[in-house]
């Protein structure tokens, strides 16, 4: 697993980067992906994940808001806290990139026989269960 997973992730990253919206930088794409998985997070949370200092992350978010890919909102009960989420346009662009990437990965896997493809899918489902963030160790079958 330690040998294969990094190569698979490298291919996924390469495909996502090569099919991203024209003019979208890699950090901007990573920001969209993070917001897709973590709706309503703060600028600080995104900056920490991306590895940017707050001023750089703020500029990145400004650009994404300007391009109507991200929505920035102050919370009603605490106007100092700014919540970030994907806009409908941002979600559509990310889904488009993911759809193309999934098609390219499916194409790459087409060299396998159907039975082999089915085993890969089953193995990925099992790995998903084992490494699900919400699953407790007892739930994962670990003793």
CA 37 to chain centre: 6
Using alpha carbons, list the distances in angstroms from residue 65 to 27, 33, 89, 101.
14, 15, 11, 25
pLDDT in tens, 20-40: 888 999 999 999 999 999 999
Element (H, E) at 14: helix 4-18
pLDDT in tens, 80-124: 788 999 999 999 999 999 999 999 999 999 999 999 999 999 999
Q: How far apart are CA 34 and CA 19, in angstroms?
A: 17
- Domain layout of the chain by residue ranges: 4-107, 112-143
**Predicted TM-score (pTM) above 0.95:** no
Enter the CATH code of domain 4-107. 1.10.10.10
């Amino acid at each position: 697993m330690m040998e294969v997973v990094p190569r698979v992730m490298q291919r996924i990253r390469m495909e996502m980067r090569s099919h991203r919206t024209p003019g979208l930088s890699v950090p901007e794409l990573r920001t969209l992906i993070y917001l897709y998985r973590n709706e309503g997070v703060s600028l600080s949370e995104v900056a920490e994940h991306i590895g940017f200092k707050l001023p750089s992350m703020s500029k990145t978010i400004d650009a994404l808001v300007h391009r109507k890919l991200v929505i920035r909102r102050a919370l009603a009960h605490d106007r100092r806290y700014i919540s970030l989420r994907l806009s409908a346009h941002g979600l559509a662009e990310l889904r488009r990139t993911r759809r193309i990437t999934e098609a390219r990965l499916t194409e790459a896997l087409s060299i396998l026989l159907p039975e082999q493809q089915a085993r890969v899918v089953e193995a990925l489902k099992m790995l998903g269960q084992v490494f699900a963030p919400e699953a407790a160790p007892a739930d994962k079958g670990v003793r």
